[in-house]
């Protein structure tokens, strides 16, 4: 059974850091571009970052550029999202996802608009508050 499992969320003060993990079970991440998405209360799910299958190419939403870093360790079948200088507007449920057809980041980024195309984790809550 294909499964993605996110972890690492929590409550952090503004300016703090968190590292999210996305672990795969039932399949190998090596051939998949992986995206991170988030959904704040009352808002649409949005793409945050994406990393190519090789790790050689990354994408960041303008709102997180310079603060978030995506990486992957294929040996551990895991993708990470290092989040620094967190702001209250970063609060939300964070999800990782990949396209079922192993499409690149240009397609993975659009999964927020058509979730049925992807494999999704259950999400991890990130709350940035003082």
Q: How far is CA 36 from CA 9, 70, 122, 130, in A?
A: 13, 9, 12, 25
Give pLDDT tens digits for 15-72: 999 999 999 998 899 999 999 999 999 999 999 999 999 999 999 999 999 999 999 9
Given a cut of 90, whether residue 12 has pLDDT beyond it is yes
HSE (side-chain half, CA atoms, 13 Å) at 124: 20
Beta bridge partners of 124: 94
Give pLDDT tens digits for 74-125: 999 999 999 999 999 999 999 999 999 999 999 999 999 899 999 999 999 9
H helix count then E strand count, the chain: 1, 11
């Amino acid at each position: 059974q294909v499964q993605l499992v996110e972890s690492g969320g929590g409550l952090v003060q503004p300016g703090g850091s968190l590292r999210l993990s996305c672990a795969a079970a039932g399949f190998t991440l090596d051939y998949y571009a992986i995206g991170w998405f988030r959904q704040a209360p009352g808002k649409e799910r949005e793409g945050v970052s994406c990393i190519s299958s090789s790790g050689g190419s990354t994408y960041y939403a303008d709102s997180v550029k310079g603060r978030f870093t995506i990486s992957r360790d294929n040996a551990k079948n895991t993708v990470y999202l290092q989040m620094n200088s967190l702001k209250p507007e970063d609060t939300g449920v964070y999800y990782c996802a990949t396209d079922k057809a192993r499409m690149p980041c240009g397609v993975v980024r659009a999964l927020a608009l058509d979730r049925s195309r992807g494999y999704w984790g259950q999400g991890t809550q990130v709350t940035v508050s003082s």
